[in-house]
C-alpha cells in the first residue's frame, strides 16, 4: 500500500526512487566534496585542494613510484565465481600495490596522490567505498606517515585507478635490485602464492558460496594484499644488499634481481613447503599444481631480498636460496631450482598474449 504522505513529498520534489546517485549526476566538485574527507590520513603540509600538495622530505630526497589498476585487466568488478569485488577492495589493492614499491626501496611512505578514471554511470557510493578502502589500507598496513595529497578525477570508458606514492628512506641509500653478491642468502618476507590461489578461486566456475573458510581467506589475500611495510625499512637497516617487491611472481622477480645484479640464484624448493602446504586443499579441489602459484603467482607484495650470510635476518624474513656467481663464458639461467634449470619461466607479463 502507498504511504500517501511520503510519496507526495517524493513526487513533489521529483526525487527518483530506486536509481543510485552516479558521478554524472553529482559532477566533479560534488564528488570531490564527498570523497576528500574519506581520504584523511596523516596531514600533508598542504593539500588537497590546490594545484599540488606539499610534502615533507626531511632527508632532502625522496623515492617515488606509480602504478595503475585497470578494470578487466588488473581486477574485475564481478568474477566468474559470482563474487563481486567492492570499491573498498579496489581502493585497498591500489594502496597496497603502491605502498609495496616504496617498502621495497627500504623507505616509509610519505604521500600518495590518486587519479581516478570513471565511467559516468559509476555510482557515487562505489567511489566513496574506494576512498575508504584506500585510506583504511594506508592506516591498517601501518603507513602512518603517508599523507593523501589529493589527485585527479576524470571520465573514461573503463574504470582505472592510478596512484603515485612517495617515501622517505630509512637508511642513507635505497636498497636496489642490483646489489646481490655471490655467497649471500636469498630471503623472502610475506606469503607466496596466496593471491594467485585467490585469483584462481575468483576465476573458477566453482561459485563463491561453495568456498571454505580457508578459501575465502585466500581470496581475501588477492582482494586485499598485505605487504609487510615494516620489513622493507628493517631489511635496509639490517644491511640487505638487494631488495624488490614480489608483484609478478617469485621466479620472474628473482630472475630480474639476479640479472640486475649479474649473479644467479639457486632456490631451494624444500623451503617453500609451508607455502605449498597452505595451498594444498585448494589446489586439489581446483586441480592446479600449487607450485604454479608459489613460483609464478604475483600480487602477494611480499619482499625478496639478499643479505650477507652472517646477517641476522629481520623478523619475517626466511631463507629460500643462495646467490651464486655466473661462470665466465658459460651461458646459464639466472635462476636454478634445487641446482637445476627450471622447466618453465613462470610469471606475469602485462602484454603477453
In the complex, the smallest distance separating the C-beta of residue 237 from its own copies, rounded to whole angstroms, is 17
- Sequence-distant (≥ 6) Cβ neighbours of residue 251 within 8 angstroms: 295, 296, 335, 342, 345, 346, 347
Q: Which of residues 290-309 bind its own copies (CB under 8 A)?
A: none
- Residue 177 in contact with its own copies, rule: CB under 8 A: yes
CB of 333 to its own copies, least distance (A): 16
Is 51 annotated as belonging to a binding site? yes
Closer residue to its own copies (CB): 102 or 258: 102
**Closer residue to its own copies in complex, CB, 164/337:** 164
Q: CA separation (Å) from 217 to 135, 226, 232?
A: 22, 12, 24
Cα separation, 90 vs 6, whole angstroms: 37
Shortest distance, CB of residue 72 to its own copies, whole angstroms? 7
Residue 176 makes contact with its own copies by CB under 8 A: yes
Among 11, 158, 214, 338, binds its own copies (CB under 8 A): 158
Give kind and range of the element (H or E) at residue 294: helix 290-296
Q: Which of residues 20-49 bind its own copies (CB under 8 A)?
A: 23-24, 26-29, 31, 45-46, 49
Q: Evaluate whether 249 touches 348 at the Cβ level (below 8 Å).
A: yes
Site for its own copies in 54-73 (CB under 8 A): 54-68, 70, 72-73
253 in a labelled binding site: no
Of the ranges 53-61, 269-277, 288-296, 330-338, which one interacts with its own copies (CB under 8 A)? 53-61
CA–CA–CA angle 246, 249, 255 (5° rounding):
90
DSSP secondary structure, 161-204, as one string: EEEEEEEEESSSS---SS---TTPEEEEES-SSHHHHHHHHHHS
Q: Are 38 and 131 in contact (CB under 8 A)?
A: yes
271 is in an annotated binding site: no
Binding to its own copies in span 124-153, by CB under 8 A:
149, 151-153
| 248 belongs to an annotated ligand binding site | yes
284 binds its own copies (CB under 8 A): no
203 binds its own copies (CB under 8 A): no
Nearer to its own copies, 105 or 258 (CB): 105
Is 208 labeled as ligand-binding?
no
Residue 166 · residue 110 · CB < 8 Å: yes
Q: Nearer to its own copies by C-beta: 113 or 267?
A: 113
> Among 72, 248, 226, which Cα is nearest to 136's?
226
Contact 167, 62 (CB under 8 A): yes
Report the distance separating Cα 82 and Cα 100, nearest Å: 29
Minimum distance of its own copies from residue 184's CB (angstroms): 18
Strands 147-155, 242-245: pairing kind: unpaired
Whole-angstrom Cα distance, residue 247 to residue 149? Answer: 25
Q: In the range 233-272, which residues lie near its own copies by CB under 8 A?
A: 244-245, 260
19-48 as b/e: b if 16+ CB within 10 A: eeebbeeeeeeebeebbbebbebeebeebb
157 is in an annotated binding site: no
Annotated binding site for ATP: 151-152, 177, 247
Annotated binding site for Mg(2+): 51, 65, 67, 101, 152, 245, 248
Annotated binding site: 51, 65, 67, 74, 101, 151-152, 177, 245, 247-248, 299, 348
Amino acid at each position: 500500500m502507498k504511504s500517501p504522505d511520503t510519496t507526495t513529498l517524493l513526487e513533489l520534489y521529483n526525487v527518483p526512487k530506486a536509481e543510485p546517485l552516479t558521478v554524472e549526476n553529482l559532477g566533479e566538485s560534488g564528488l570531490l566534496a564527498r570523497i576528500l574527507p574519506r581520504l584523511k590520513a596523516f596531514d600533508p603540509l598542504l593539500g588537497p585542494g590546490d594545484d599540488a600538495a606539499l610534502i615533507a622530505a626531511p632527508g632532502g630526497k625522496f623515492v617515488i613510484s606509480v602504478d595503475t589498476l585497470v578494470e578487466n585487466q588488473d581486477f574485475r568488478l564481478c568474477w566468474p565465481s559470482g563474487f563481486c569485488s567492492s570499491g573498498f577492495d579496489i581502493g585497498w589493492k591500489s594502496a597496497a600495490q603502491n605502498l609495496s614499491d616504496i617498502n621495497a626501496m627500504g623507505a616509509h611512505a610519505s604521500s600518495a596522490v590518486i587519479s581516478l578514471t570513471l565511467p559516468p554511470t559509476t555510482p557515487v557510493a562505489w567511489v566513496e567505498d574506494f576512498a575508504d578502502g584506500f585510506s583504511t589500507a594506508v592506516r591498517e598496513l601501518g603507513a602512518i606517515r603517508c599523507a593523501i595529497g589529493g589527485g585527479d578525477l576524470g571520465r573514461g570508458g573503463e574504470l582505472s585507478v592510478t596512484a603515485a606514492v612517495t617515501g622517505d628512506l630509512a637508511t642513507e641509500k635505497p636498497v636496489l635490485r642490483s646489489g646481490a653478491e655471490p655467497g649471500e642468502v636469498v630471503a623472502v618476507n610475506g606469503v607466496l602464492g596466496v593471491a594467485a590461489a585467490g585469483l584462481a578461486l575468483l576465476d573458477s566456475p566453482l561459485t563463491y558460496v561453495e568456498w571454505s573458510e580457508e578459501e575465502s581467506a585466500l581470496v581475501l589475500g588477492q582482494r586485499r594484499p598485505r605487504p609487510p611495510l615494516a620489513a622493507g625499512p628493517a631489511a635496509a637497516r639490517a644491511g640487505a644488499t638487494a631488495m624488490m617487491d614480489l608483484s609478478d611472481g617469485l621466479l620472474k622477480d628473482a630472475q630480474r634481481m639476479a640479472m640486475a645484479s649479474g649473479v644467479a640464484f639457486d632456490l631451494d624448493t624444500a623451503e617453500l613447503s609451508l607455502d605449498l602446504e597452505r595451498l594444498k586443499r585448494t589446489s586439489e579441489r581446483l586441480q592446479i599444481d600449487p607450485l604454479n602459484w608459489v613460483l609464478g603467482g604475483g600480487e602477494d607484495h611480499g619482499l625478496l631480498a639478499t643479505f650477507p650470510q652472517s646477517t641476522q635476518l629481520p623478523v619475517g624474513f626466511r631463507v629460500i636460496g643462495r646467490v651464486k656467481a655466473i661462470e665466465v663464458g658459460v651461458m646459464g639461467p639466472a635462476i636454478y631450482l634445487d641446482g637445476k634449470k627450471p622447466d618453465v619461466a613462470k610469471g606475469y607479463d602485462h602484454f603477453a598474449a
